[in-house]
Amino acid sequence: MAVKRNMSPNKCPMPVQDPEVRRNNFEEVALGYTYEMAVEEAKRCLNCPKKPCRSACPVAIDIPAFIERVAKRVSLKEQVVDFPPQPVITRDNVTMQIDTVVYFYITDPKLYAYGVENPIAAIENLTATTLRNIIGDLELDNTLTSRDVINTKIQVILDEATDAWGIKVKRVELKNILPPREIQAAMEKQMKAERERRAKILDAEGDKRSQILVSEGLKESAILKADAIKESKIREAQGEAEAIMTVQKAYADSLKMLNEASPTDKVIALKSLEAFEKAADGRATKIIIPSEIQSMATLAATLKEMVSDKNIDISPKPEQQDQTTETNS
């Protein structure tokens, strides 16, 4: 790291105790440089053009060179190093290119500055050898699907190895895994075939589902149609039954009312004539009348008037006076 040049000819003054304070103690008058003041004074010394300290030193020590080497600054922030792709071989003899990213920070500046000559290059070489050892135990498919396992193994090994350099490895990430072009082409064909197979399965399942839905629709339609016919017939039968019940009930009520009214013979005869009126609807050719009704002159006249317009033979037959009525259609 380049050091900022300080060309000031004036020496940085050394802090000393105030006279009012130092007269009451026996401590050193000079308080010494602070860290910032020492760095500025060292920069001024390094940029001295004459360097009299070098010629005046009794032991011939190159003091500026010594200070320049000691005055190295390091950052304690977390750093990121992206290493170029490294060729590695899997257990099934597939050569791939894998590049890694290492996240680390410095825990001991002294060890970082003096523990190893080039810490970044040391980490890169250690990462490459560790990566080859781990990938060598894995096959291609496992390598492509085990990124987290590989990252964890590399991080543990690097962190343990870099402790002596004052470095703490936080994590390691595999950035890219690039198989050979032939392997990539084979993987693409395999992926395409798998997708086509899934598409055919989905199409077949769709057709099957469609046919099932159509069949279920036809089934439900037939069931609904049969239920409708059934319901219609039931309602029709219920309607006919209710109509018959209503007619029978009305007829029973009429008989009951007639019975309660204590009808006379004339009323009964009139009802009989109404019944014969229905019988003489033009379809019957003969009507045999009981003798009880024939004896009634008024009823005979009425009956004759009722059937005068119809071709009906209603002449009494003496030999059948005690027989019941018989109708031939």
The per-residue pLDDT for range 186-221, each reduced to its tens digit, is 777 877 888 888 888 888 888 888 889 888 888 888
Q: Is residue 119 part of a domain?
A: yes
Q: Please tell me the pTM assigned to this model.
A: 0.44
pLDDT at 134 over 70: yes
* Res. 328 pLDDT band, cuts 50 70 90: very low
Q: Are 104 and 151 within one domain? A: yes
pLDDT at 135 over 60: yes
Structurally, the chain folds into a number of domains equal to 4
Mean pLDDT score, 247-264: 75
Enumerate residues 6+ apart whose C-beta is below 8 A from 104: 78, 79, 81, 123, 162, 167, 168, 169, 170
- For the chain, give the percent of residues with pLDDT over 90: 13
* Res. 158 pLDDT band, cuts 50 70 90: very high
Q: Is residue 9 part of a domain?
A: no
pLDDT at 102: 93
Residue type, 72: K
Q: Are 236 and 254 within one domain? A: yes
61 DSSP assignment: -
Q: Are 193 and 249 within one domain? A: yes
Last residue of a domain, one of 179, 198, 230: 179
Is residue 312 within 8 Å of residue 285, measured between CB atoms?
Answer: yes
**Buried-state track 58-81, b at ≥16 Cβ within 10 A, e below 16:** eeeeeebeebeeeeeeeeeeeeee
pLDDT at 103: 94
Last residue of a domain, one of 215, 243, 262: 262
Q: Are 87 and 168 within one domain? A: yes
pLDDT at 185: 78
Q: Are 251 and 269 within one domain? A: no
Domain of residue 85: give its range: 79-179
3-class secondary structure, 88: strand
pLDDT at 268: 67
Last residue of a domain, one of 262, 283, 302: 262
Distance CA 298, CA 275 (A): 16
pLDDT at 322: 42
CATH code, domain with 109? 3.30.479.30
* Res. 324 pLDDT band, cuts 50 70 90: very low
